[in-house]
Structure 1
Amino acid sequence: MNDAKDMVLHWIELFNRGDADGLAELYHDDAINHQVANLPIQGKHAIRELFAYEFSTAEMTCLPVNLFQDDEWVILEWKDPMGLLGCGFFHITEGKIKLQRGYWDKLSFLRMHGMPLPTR
């Protein structure tokens, strides 16, 4: 891949196919994926497990709305077919994702997918 934006476009393709193994290969061994509605996940193996679990519990699709690149950073504004909106930040170094941070409404996601709501 030539640049960070291409990496995120490839990430979207793999995400939409539900390919946890392919996604994990895009991350550094010690990468961090922090979906701010959840605790941060560290390490390629743990990130792969996270994706595998999420793909097994809900059907998810990432439809890009805007994609911006500033050197090693890519910002992805996205929506899904059910109306959920979100934004992700990817820090890409040496051709791999070093840090991913995502912002989305977890309560709306759980409701849309008929999943149990947190009880605190």
Structure 2
Amino acid sequence: MASPKEIVKQWVAAFNKGDAELLSSFYHSDAVNHQVANEPVVGRQAIYQMFREEFANAEMECIVDNIFQDGEWAILEWKDPIGLRGCGFFHIQNGLIVMQRGYWDKLSFLQAHNLPIPSTKSPSN
């Protein structure tokens, strides 16, 4: 069975192809993908749909800075061609991602891709 580090390398290759179906195949059926700038996405089908929509909205590329492994965990430090940076934590069991957490600057991403910026509401007084 591939190590968590190897699985993340394969995940990056699938991400860079923009292949939501292949990408979602790396996840357990009940996996959680929580990009902390967004609400958690639960389940392989929902993760597939998330990637499908993201690839339709923006051209994305993941350039690996580092991949570290600690037991069942792999940590990905990445950048993209336009200068965005982030990191992802992947918990992998039996060759499948069961939980992924990602950290990146959502506002910079939306601005760079000319995507709408959600309005923020201030609390009522």
| TM-score in terms of structure 1 length | 0.98
2:111 is matched with 111
Gaps of 5+ in 1: none
Runs of at least 4 residues off by over 3 Å:
none
The 5-angstrom pairing of residues 3-82 of structure 1 reads 3-82=3-82
- What is the identity, as a one-letter code, of the residue corresponding to 2:6? D
Alignment RMSD, CA only? Answer: 0.6
Larger Rg: 2
SS in 2 for 1:39: coil
Q: Does 1:87 align with 2:68?
A: no
| TM-score in terms of structure 2 length | 0.94
- What is the identity, as a one-letter code, of the residue corresponding to 1:23? L
Give the distance between the partners of 1:92 and 1:69, measured in 2 at CA: 10
Gaps of 5+ in 2: 121-125
Alignment size in residue pairs = 120
